[in-house]
Structure 1
Amino acid sequence: MDEGGPDVTAFGDALRYLNDPFNWTRSGGILDLLLEHLAISAAAVLLAAVLAIPGGVLLGRSTRGAGAIVVLSNVSRAVPTLALLTVFAVTPIGFSDTATVLALAVFAFPPMLTNTFVGFREVDRDVREAARAMGMSHGQLLARVEFPLALPLVMTGVRTAGVQVVATATLAALVGGGGLGRIINLGFGQQDLGQILAGALIVAALALLTELVLVTLSWAVTPGPRRLPFARVHRGTAAGQPEPAAAGIPL
């Protein structure tokens, strides 16, 4: 008599798969695929950042471009990553990690462009005027005033894109690419629910870890007063009132 349903059995198989050192250390195992997955994701985010951040800065500092940003962002989001991978597969690019990087870069482009644009557009005009009155050049204004003020939103765009790319890079395995998606793809081919679940758990954990790392990085590079990432802000403190403990209210 079966002691558990299919879900319980699949979960147990997934744990056995993840607890087997051979699955991690063998050639083409989890560690190799993890490094490949990270390399593909990092290359895609970097490529998108090289194009999106300077474009967002230029458009954000100008008085025009809001309509173009909205249109470009919406069009880019509407293009399915798997469709791009399929299109690249029938071009000279072929089935390769290059195709995966290009497709994921297109996917990562909109959040970075939009957040950079909004970050620079939201810089207070009075702050700009005060910096110019102090004799700052355009370059100094950008580097010492505008960019530090816009950095939190810029990093939000990078964080959003990074997490999305790490999660979506699994699709590369469907068109012969590398990364952790191979574990899931092989599990489907063998009808092994445990392996499929194991691959999904690894990807989910990697996406959560990416979020944590990028939140910490954003906290570290943002100038001005900081609080620890994920720390809870007391309402009394935010309103300029004393901490609850100082006011005699138990924490």
Structure 2
Amino acid sequence: MNTLEAAWSWLTTSAHWSGEGGVWDRLGEHLFLTAVCLLLSSLIALPVALLLGHIGKGGALAVNLSNVGRAVPTFAVLVLLLLTPLGTHGQWPTIIALVLFAVPPLLTNAYVGMREVDRDVVRAARGMGMTGRQLLFHVELPLALPLILTGVRIAAVQLVATATLAALAGGGGLGRIITAGFNLASTPQVVAGAVLVAVFALVVEGLFELGQRLAPQWVRDGTGG
């Protein structure tokens, strides 16, 4: 039996899916970690990007600084955080490392979306007497929404793939299946874990695509409703 056949055999063994530490259990942990990190990174990146995109100042610097952070491997950030006092606080080193990893695509796409709003439309809205707040929420944000959602989709898929690092810090998720395979010298289990992560990422990608297709026309096209 070759490695792929052995990995398929591992995946189709019902005992590996049920109970504590089974695939469904690890999948739930992985989903929870991804959702928490995506929420936190969105709460950090999107308000900053929307504000800077609205005022048109400082955004390029913020985007460049966030993109510089991409050059630092998430694993390296995680290791450094584990060496600090934060390393004794459960999942927080992993969460912080993943949030830092997810901020750049969210910030970049949201800022670019805001700055690509037709300036003639913005001037016309100002001429109609709209306040800055009304302009932001009723004109710029709806028009920038497609690019903002693209950034959220990219960040979500990247988080699914990178959240496997949680296992290296003793956390949960599908990465535990992979690390357990290494510990057991079981190549089929390692491959099976990698396949599960890849499939999960594809499912998340597909759900975002489906959500975009089912969304109202103004959300898909950024026509502002």
2:38 corresponds to? 45
* Corresponding position of 2:210: 216
Structure 2 Cα separation of the partners of residues 209 and 48 of structure 1: 21
Partner Cα distance (2:55, 2:216) in 1:
24
Range with bigger deviation, 197-206 or 79-88: 79-88
Among 93, 103, 116, the alignment partner of 1:99 is 93
Secondary structure of the structure 1 residue equivalent to 2:193: helix
Matches within 5 A, 1:1-251: 9-94=2-87, 96-221=90-215, 223-224=217-218
Gaps of 5+ in 1: 1-7, 228-251
Residue type of the alignment partner of 2:3: A
In structure 1, distance between residues paired with 2:140 and 2:63: 22
**Alpha-carbon deviation of 1:217?**
2.7
Q: Give TM-score scaled by structure 2 length.
A: 0.91
What do residues 94-141 of structure 1 show as CA deviations (whole Å, max 9, x unaligned)? 263222111100000000001111000111111012222223222222
Cα distance, 1:184 vs. partner?
0.6
The count of corresponding residues between Structure 1 and Structure 2 is 220
SS in 2 for 1:71: helix
Rg (Cα) greater in structure:
1
CA RMSD of the aligned region, Å? 1.8
- Report if aligned partners of 1:148, 1:222 keep a CA contact under 8 Å in 2: no
Question: In structure 2, what is the Cα distance between the partners aligned to 1:185 and 1:100?
Answer: 16
* Structure with the largest fraction of helix: 2
Q: TM-score, normalised by structure 1?
A: 0.82
CA distance in 2, matches of 1:137, 1:221: 28
Structure 1 letter corresponding to 2:204: T
Could you tell me the percent identity over the aligned residues?
Answer: 49
8 Å CA contact 1:56–1:117 kept in 2: the answer is yes
